A = this chain, B = another copy of it.
Amino acid sequence: MEEYNEKQLSIIIVAERLFADQGFHGTSVRDIAQEADVNIAMISYYFGSKDKLLESVFRYRMEASRKFINELVQNDTMEPLEKINSLIDRYINKMLGEQHFHCIMNREQLNKEKSPVRDLIWELKREMLGLMQPIVTRAQEAGTFDKEVDVVMLMTTLFGTINQAIPAQYILRNDIEFENMNDDDFKEYLRNRLSTHLKKLFKAILTHEF
């Protein structure tokens, strides 16, 4: 469990935003230093290098992700579909709440060359899958869920749909019907629309009910 002081944390937060908006290579350490209002040398001093700073951003958010996953595994009184619905909502909330981080994840996961960060991403995805798999499988064995559903693909659909919706906002936002809606209202609107869609989708494919 690593601890960051105030200055280190502000560097991490600024770097996260800039990496998300402009990409890792599209952001210079000078950009980061300026926006975080620290000297350039402080980045090397605290994090070692620009690469290690990216790693630090990941480790910082990963901790929250781990906690998130562990919280999901609780509440064992719920029925399978309730659990799935809860998982959908929580995941939507997490992604909309940590848009910058998930934006970086989506970019970095595309890199072909192996890197510590790429490994962390897939470690996290595997953990999420490892959480959802038993929920579905147990419900399949109990006869509640369709036995032929491909759980890995279903997770891909969950991640993929939300990931795809995030950049789509930037565009939708310019549409006439949303032009005078404030950011929070729009986020709430998107959250509901995503939630309704995904829950309907999962219910249909898993239980054959509507």
Chain A residues proximal to chain B, CB less than 8 Å: 20-26, 103, 106-107, 109-113, 122, 125, 146, 148-150, 153-154, 156-157, 159-165, 167-168, 170-171, 193-194, 196-197, 200-201, 204-205, 208, 210
Contacts and interface: CB of A to CB of B under 8 A. Distances in A.
Contacts of A204: 201, 204-205, 208
**Copy count, this protein chain:** 2
A157 B160 contact: yes
B170 A112 contact: yes
A11 to B, nearest CB: 20
A157 B150 contact: no
The 10 A-B residue pairs whose C-beta atoms are closest, nearest first, are A160-B160, A160-B164, A25-B25, A21-B112, A153-B197, A204-B204, A160-B161, A157-B161, A25-B26, A109-B167
Contacts of A110: 20, 23, 103, 106-107, 167
